[in-house]
Amino acid sequence: MLAELDVLLPPLVAGLLVLASHLLLGEQVLKRGILFIDLAVAQLAALGSLLAQQWGASASASVLAGMLLAVSGALLIGHWVRSYPRQREAIIGLVYAGAASVLLLALAADPHAGHRLSRSLNGDILWVSWPDMLPLALLTPVFLLLWRWQGQWLRGVAFYPCFALLVSLSVPLLGVYLVFVTLIAPALVVQLGGGRMAAMLSASVGYLFGLSIAWLLDWPAGATLVLALLATCAIEIGLSRLAGHHSAGVSSNVSSGSS
């Protein structure tokens, strides 16, 4: 039991840490209709750190370079989206494809770097150790406090760089798919009337459930967690819809108690 806890606790804490900020970010992403910004930003961060490594930068400097490229890319995307709001999905999609292709070319020239890089895009939640989480653990409370006191600013001009910073720190820990699902699935629960508490709860249960399954059946943890989160969030949406039908007059906020 103790050994299980030791193996599963760091991934669980990492997942909940990412969830804490990404629920709020995800709500914004859904509201703005910029679903794939997550993938574009992750690609930019990976590209930045790879290019820095090829220029001979150290490990921590290359992480910073990745964040720098992700944040500046997100600023640019934000600018374009404001200029051409109707073409936003097209712009984000093209940035994603472009960054991914430059990354492939850079890797073809130097696959040796690919080994070192493989973790930054395909980060695996099971490998996460306590020191790995430190930067995100420091940034997340700052983000949550700012959201509370400077919400207008964060939801306005500061959204894109802030989003890029948190996502580029989360993807090396959890991997691109799990970050995407943590960003979108609970936010979808909120948007479909489940309420923020219910969304938080169903995603947390998803993490707990997914990690237990991965442990018991010895399945790769990342993919198992993605499916577990999808399942618990789908169940929560179904439950809140059901509750909504039974008491049509009740507002969506109250139905959060249905989980």
Partner 1 sequence: MMHMRSKLGALLLSACLPLQAEAVNIFACEPEWAALGQVLAPDAKVTSATHAYQDPHYIEARPSLIARLRRADLAICSGAALEAGWLPALQQRAANPDVQSGQAGMLFVAEVVETIGQLEAVPFGAGDVHPEGNPHLHLDPERLRQAGAALSQRLAQVDPERAGEYRADYLRWSLAWQQRLEDWRQRAEPLRGQKIVVQHSTFDYLWRWLGVEVIADLEPKPGVPPTPGHLASLVSKVEAEQPLAIVHSWYQDPQSAQWLAQRTGIPVLALPSTTEPDKGLVAPEQLFDYLLDQLLGLPGAR
* Residues that bind partner 1 in the complex, under the rule CB under 8 A: 3, 6-8, 10, 54, 108-112, 114-116, 118-119, 124-127, 129, 214-215, 218-222
Q: What does the block give as tokens for 32?
A: 């703005």
Q: How far is the CB of 46 from partner 1 (least distance, A)?
A: 15
Residue 98 or 114 with smaller CB distance to partner 1: 114
CB 244 within 8 A of CB 196: no
CA distance 141 to 128: 20
Please enumerate in sequence order all residues whose Cβ is within 8 A of that of 87, keeping only pairs 6 or more positions apart, or say none. Answer: none
Q: What does the block give as tokens for 70?
A: 């992700």
Q: How far is the CB of 147 from partner 1 (least distance, A)?
A: 32
Residue 131 or 249 with smaller CB distance to partner 1: 131
Q: How far is the CB of 146 from partner 1 (least distance, A)?
A: 32
Q: How far is the CB of 176 from partner 1 (least distance, A)?
A: 15
Residue 192 or 223 with smaller CB distance to partner 1: 223
CA distance 147 to 125: 26
Q: What does the block give as tokens for 109?
A: 């020239």
Q: How far is the CB of 63 from partner 1 (least distance, A)?
A: 15
Residue 198 or 211 with smaller CB distance to partner 1: 211
Residue 109 or 197 with smaller CB distance to partner 1: 109
